[in-house]
Structure 1
Amino acid sequence: MATVQKITPNLWFDHEGEDAAKFYVSIFKNAKLGRVTRYTEEGFEVHKRPAGSVMTVEFEIEGQAFLALNGGPFVKFNESISFMINCNTQQEVDYYWERLGEGGDPKAQQCGWLKDKFGVSWQVVPVKLNEMIADTDVNKANKAMRAMLQMKKIDLHALEKAVNS
């Protein structure tokens, strides 16, 4: 019997859940698609979805299970929920920023946050940034915060330069 994750993020899409799951799985190296369920004629008066159309898609990224639900246009994503990607290098930051930002909303980019083409918010953050803003040297922490607030995509070299100036 398979182990079931205790908490699974459920992402509500209008009808593009399968496309979104495939998009995310194509970006992350340790990712895979899982089971797909389809609507049936049962409950059509409630869900209004054609029988055979995709209802849910299970997928996994870096060991974290997700569920994409095609639930209709009633609910939209907003920035109050986001997924943080902890990056060890600037190369990782650049990779995830570029890939997840493809077709997304450039106006929704600030301080490492971006919104992808499906409206899902992501934070692409170097691990070092969290260390910098938590520095016990308040002056250094302030410099890191000040520099970060001026950025869209986080630039680790520029942060380090600002903190050490």
Structure 2
Amino acid sequence: MKNRVQKISPNLWFDHQAEEATQHYVWEMLAEGGDERAQVCGWLKDKFGVSWQIVPANLSEMITDPDPANNRTSHEGFTPDEIKN
């Protein structure tokens, strides 16, 4: 069997209007049956092996907050539970 190379990686950008529950629902539905090890930093891999990027509208606020307790740098992971509107 030939190695498959993923040619696309869809992303979902949630605006400030999207409810947190909607973001969690989409994450859970896409992640169900997927590779749990690939569920980091807003990325997940679904049961078909497609990688998805889930981007919260407040991402820039999360990574630029001057308070070190709230600041998330790009090399740190975050889970859907940490994404807040």
TM-score (norm 1): 0.40
Q: Does 1:130 align with 2:60?
A: yes
Q: Does 1:102 align with 2:29?
A: no
Structure 1 residues 141 and 127, CA, compared in 2 at 3 Å: closer, same or farther? farther
1:149 maps to which of 68, 73, 76 = 76
Q: Which residue of 2 aligns with 1:4?
A: none
**Which is richer in helix?**
1
Structure 1 residues 89 and 141, CA, compared in 2 at 3 Å: closer, same or farther? farther
**Residues 18-56 of structure 1, C-alpha deviations (whole Å, 9 max, x = no match):** xxxxxxxxxxxxxxxxxxxxxxxxxxxxxxxxxxxxxxx
Counterpart CA distance in 1 for 2:8 and 2:67 is 29
Q: Which runs of 5+ in 1 are unaligned?
A: 1-72, 161-165
Aligned length: 82
User: Using CA pairs below 8 Å that are at least 6 residues apart, which structure has the higher relative contact order?
Assistant: 2
3-state SS, counterpart of residue 145 of structure 1? coil
Q: Does 1:117 align with 2:47?
A: yes
3-state SS, counterpart of residue 27 of structure 2? helix
**Residues 94-153 of structure 1, C-alpha deviations (whole Å, 9 max, x = no match):** 1111111111000111011100011100011211113443x4x6x25894324x824233
Counterpart CA distance in 2 for 1:116 and 1:77 is 15
Q: Percent identity?
A: 40
Q: Which residue of 2 aligns with 1:61?
A: none
TM-score (norm 2): 0.68
- After TM superposition, the structure 1 = structure 2 runs for residues 68-83 of structure 1, keeping only pairs within 5 Å, are 73-78=1-6, 81-83=8-10
Larger radius of gyration: 1
Counterpart CA distance in 1 for 2:58 and 2:3 is 35
Q: Does 1:92 align with 2:7?
A: no
